[in-house]
Amino acid sequence: MKRLPLDGIVVADFSRVLAGPLCTELLADEGARVIKVEEPRFGDETRRWGPPFAGDVSTYFLSVNRNKESIALDLRADRELARALIERADVIVDNFLPAQRQELLGEIPETKVHCSITGFDPETAEASRPGYDLLAQAGAGLMSITGGAEPFKTGVALADVLTAHYAHGAILAALYAGGGARLEVSLFGATLASLVNVAQAALSTGHEAQRYGNAHPSIVPYQLFHARDRAFAIGGGTDRHYRSLCGVIGRPELATDERFATNAARVANRATLVPLLEEIFATNDAQHWVDRCRDANIPASLVRGVLEALRSEEARPLIATLDGFETVGHPVRMNGERLPVRSHPPKLGEHTEALRRELTGTPAQTGSRSRGTRTPGGRR
């Protein structure tokens, strides 16, 4: 790929942990020059969030910081360099609490695209509270519809991930519009908005959303089933899928049974249909049922482990490797090509001296990486 879509865009990344760094990694993948600002002694907290580690850095940090440069900077002791970076940047991303943002960054010129990632929206009473993925999942309702007997958080920090993608999209929209923009994206708001049909159903009916575990509130069969050896999933989203499934399991009479003939009827009678299907699926291996379903054009998949999925044939085009560093690359293809991994996640302060010279025309001071005290910052 000769030219990446965001070539020439400079991003000053004052964020850390997950939502902000994932947002800026997406921008970096798309060609933006992302300069990650880290406090001098310890850097981004996630550098130490392990095990597991790869060498002396956590795999958590490695997952969201490729294609970036790192400058070690005390935002209180070196305000002039921070201001020079802000003036140089087209986009500024931070996840400070409001009071800390003003203290550490000062006024951001209106000509810049400035995106702040917060825990809660600014017009709410909680605006000054720090935000955490776990609390967003709990407070915005996502946890209440996830799990079985009791609420569960998702297995990945999904509130952070959703917020990163909303922020990424908003930044691209602002860049497309031209001029500056003040963007604010909260973990709570992004998580609530991502409840989509579940949120709309609750608003429209006035009824609290229910938890369906591995099933679907409005579609049957659309869930996990248990075969003789392992679990698998069927996405029978239409009546046609259901009729085909009845043929696959050798029970054609179930297709015309008035209790199951339509999706609405199957939803009403899931307590009868699902145990019947489970009994049948338990007679053979999961791969047998997945293959037969796919032959009948019924969506189906094994329930894989993460490593199993990463090593699957479907994942092969998504795994990017650079000098032995293996990672899950950007999932979007542009004009038939994958966006490249151009550089490893940076070492703490790896580019400090070069950036200081570039921004101020003066060499870095000896020992500048350990100068000053650790900069406290608000959480996402």
CB 153 within 8 A of CB 159: no
Q: What element of type H or E holds 266?
A: helix 263-268
**Which one, of 277, 279, 280, 241, lies nearest residue 262 by Cα?**
241
**Which one, of 118, 105, 112, lies nearest residue 19 by Cα?**
118
- Residue 353, Cβ neighbours under 10 Å: how many? 16
Q: What is the DSSP letter of 46?
A: G
74 is catalytic: no
Among 160, 229, 257, 285, the active-site one is 160
CB 11 within 8 A of CB 32: yes
Here the tokens at position 3 are 């030219």
Q: 243 φ, ψ to 5°?
A: -60, -40
Burial class, 204, CB count within 10 angstroms (exposed 0-12 / middle 13-18 / buried 19+): exposed
Collapsing DSSP to helix, strand or coil, 21 comes out as helix
**Which one, of 68, 117, 112, lies nearest residue 90 by Cα?**
112
Burial class, 167, CB count within 10 angstroms (exposed 0-12 / middle 13-18 / buried 19+): buried
From residue 117, alpha-carbon distances to 109, 179, 246, 345 in Å are 18, 20, 49, 22
- Compute the residue count for the chain: 380
What residue type is assigned to position 233 of the chain? A
Residues assigned a catalytic role: 160
